[in-house]
């Protein structure tokens, strides 16, 4: 075996923690090499292991990690992982591993879990949502040798490392979680300074189910980790363990994960009878829609994509006067770059309304309009995104179903999807 262990540091457009990752690898004697998303993917076979770094790949368009997960380079990463080579995804890299199906490792890389918006909860009260940064304790709750990145730790031991993310909350079906626990795939969990695992903030900084901070695949050679071990020497054991795993010729586990993921239906949209709908279009170019269209084009789909914001506003009383008051606030759209429009009705186009299952933006807007702006008569606000998919060819329904199965428009674990007629 070569004395030099070469690690590819995978960067996508928007990645921003490559320097810290290079330094962490070098501290433990690894030889890291920067590898861009658009380099020949087959060259990855020359490396001994891989780290997909943090940041904002493709500016987190559509949702964090999904555009990068569908990038052609990830096909090669999957092949390398199958051969037993270690793959570590940190923060945005973890989101990419989740959206690519490399973790938790269901058959055919089906998406089985989601990383969604943070929710800081204490005493059953939501203290805050969205982006948060702090230092957190990560306790190893799997056997030390179970994962390629924990060989130099002991079960029950914890490390203190920084985290900084907006969509770091692991959610998954309870029956899948139970299987992953028994399979020792729930590698790191958040704990306090005494090693006690509590589901409340600040011990659990983002509301993750089971206090999950990192999970691995059944073989133990792929790990998705939301905090940042590369930003502190406290996290060096993650990288030294990776080195030890490679030096021992990639001893993958013989664990398997058998789980039949539920079939998620796309429902037909029906608005609340007490609600009015606002469909918001952009005056300026929508880069998010362009990124989704480009990603689908790389997959061979001849489609056009347009995106609209959707508000469903349920009211008591005179709807017209309430909507005028809402409009004056500018809270639901920015009239300098957006305008109230209509849902697409063009030929060969299907429209899908995607909503977060926990619509915290809608709740926040309701609170702001009711309390800050003192607009009365609003009972509920729901926010969603309408994806308008135009198929430039034949086999309309077949192509639509294939696109939905890429999950580029929604993750069925964290979103609801409706077809809008």
CB 147 within 8 A of CB 250: no
Nearest-angstrom CA–CA distance, 348 and 189: 47
CB 209 within 8 A of CB 172: yes
Options 167, 230, 288, 312, the catalytic residue: 230
Q: Catalytic site residue 228?
A: yes
Q: Which token pair is 171? A: 């959610």
Nearest-angstrom CA–CA distance, 278 and 383: 10
Q: What's the CA angle centered on 70, arms 64 and 71, to 5 degrees?
A: 105
Q: If you search the block for the tokens 């089906």, which residue do you land on?
A: 110
Phi, psi values for residue 322, rounded to 5°: -65, -45
CB 229 within 8 A of CB 382: no
Phi, psi values for residue 94, rounded to 5°: -65, -40
Options 18, 20, 80, 91, the catalytic residue: 91
Cβ neighbors of 159 (< 8 A, separation 6 or more) are 137, 138, 153, 229, 234, 235, 237, 238
DSSP three-state, residue 374:
coil
List Cβ<8 Å contacts ≥24 apart for 331-336: 331/365, 331/368, 331/369, 331/373, 332/278, 332/280, 332/365, 333/278, 333/280, 333/309, 336/283
Q: Catalytic site residue 25?
A: no
DSSP three-state, residue 198:
coil
Torsion of CA 241, 97, 21, 184, to 10 degrees: -20
Q: Catalytic site residue 216?
A: no
Phi, psi values for residue 24, rounded to 5°: -65, -45
CB 20 within 8 A of CB 43: no
Cβ neighbors of 96 (< 8 A, separation 6 or more) are 12, 52, 57, 65, 68, 69, 74, 89
Options 152, 228, 310, 415, the catalytic residue: 228
Active-site residues, by number, are: 91, 228, 230
């Amino acid at each position: 075996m070569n004395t030099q262990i070469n690690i590819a540091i995978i960067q996508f457009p928007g990645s921003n923690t490559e320097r810290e990752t290079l330094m962490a690898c070098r501290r433990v004697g690894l030889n890291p090499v920067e590898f861009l998303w658009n380099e020949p993917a087959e060259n990855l076979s020359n490396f001994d292991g891989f780290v997909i770094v943090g940041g904002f790949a493709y500016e987190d368009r559509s949702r964090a990690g999904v555009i990068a997960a569908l990038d052609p380079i990830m096909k090669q990463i999957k092949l390398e992982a199958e051969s037993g080579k270690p793959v570590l995804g940190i923060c945005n890299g973890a989101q990419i591993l989740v959206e690519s199906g490399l973790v938790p490792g269901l058959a055919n890389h089906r998406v089985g879990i989601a990383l969604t918006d943070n929710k800081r909860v204490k005493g059953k009260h939501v203290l805050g949502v969205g982006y948060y940064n702090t230092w957190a304790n990560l306790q190893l709750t799997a056997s030390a040798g179970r994962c390629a990145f924990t060989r130099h730790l002991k079960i029950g031991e914890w490390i203190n490392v920084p985290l900084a993310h907006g969509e770091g909350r692991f959610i998954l079906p309870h029956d899948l979680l139970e299987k992953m626990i028994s399979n020792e795939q729930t590698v790191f969990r958040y704990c306090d300074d005494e090693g006690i695992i509590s589901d409340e903030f600040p011990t659990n900084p983002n509301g993750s189910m089971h206090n999950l901070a990192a999970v691995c695949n059944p073989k133990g050679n792929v790990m998705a980790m939301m905090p940042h071990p590369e930003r502190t020497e406290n996290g060096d054991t993650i990288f030294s363990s990776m080195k030890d795993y490679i030096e021992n010729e990639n001893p993958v586990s013989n664990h398997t994960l058998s789980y039949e993921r539920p079939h998620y239906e796309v429902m037909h949209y029906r608005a609340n009878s007490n609600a009015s709908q606002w469909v918001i279009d952009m005056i300026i170019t929508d880069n998010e829609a362009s990124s989704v269209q480009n990603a689908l084009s790389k997959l061979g789909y001849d489609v056009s994509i347009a995106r609209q914001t959707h508000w469903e506003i349920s009211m008591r009383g005179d709807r017209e006067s309430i909507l005028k008051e809402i409009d004056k606030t500018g809270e639901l759209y920015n009239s300098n770059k957006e305008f109230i429009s209509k849902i697409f009705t063009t030929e060969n186009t299907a429209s899908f309304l995607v909503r977060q299952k926990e619509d915290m933006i809608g709740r926040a807007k309701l609170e702001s309009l009711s309390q800050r702006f003192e607009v009365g008569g609003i009972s509920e606000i729901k926010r969603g995104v309408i994806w308008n998919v135009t198929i430039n060819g034949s086999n309309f329904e077949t192509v639509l179903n294939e696109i939905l199965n890429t999950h580029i428009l929604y993750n069925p674990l964290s979103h609801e999807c409706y077809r809008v007629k």
